[in-house]
Amino acid sequence: MKDRIVAFLVCFFLIGTIVTGCGGTTRVETTNSVTLGQQLTDLDKAYKDGVITEKEYHKAKEAMLKQYK
């Protein structure tokens, strides 16, 4: 009976060690593949659709162009 308890505890310890060793972190990196032209087109559409004001449009456009210089 004592041997079974010891064997159970050893198996439990080994399984616990294996399972916790498999739980590493995963790092996912994304890249922005949208071109400047597409960003400007989307911005222009948002302005024409009334989603943003003229002031917001010009500010965002300037920031986009500055980023790509």
pLDDT at 1: 66
pLDDT at 65: 94
Sign of the alpha-carbon torsion through 33, 34, 36, 38 = positive
Q: What is the pTM of this model?
A: 0.53
pLDDT at 30: 67
pLDDT at 34: 87
pLDDT at 4: 63
**Ranges of residues in the chain whose predicted pLDDT is under 70:** 1-25, 30, 32
State the Cα angle at 65 between 68 and 37, rounded to 5°. 85
The rounded radius of gyration (Å) of the Cα atoms in the chain is: 29
pLDDT at 29: 72
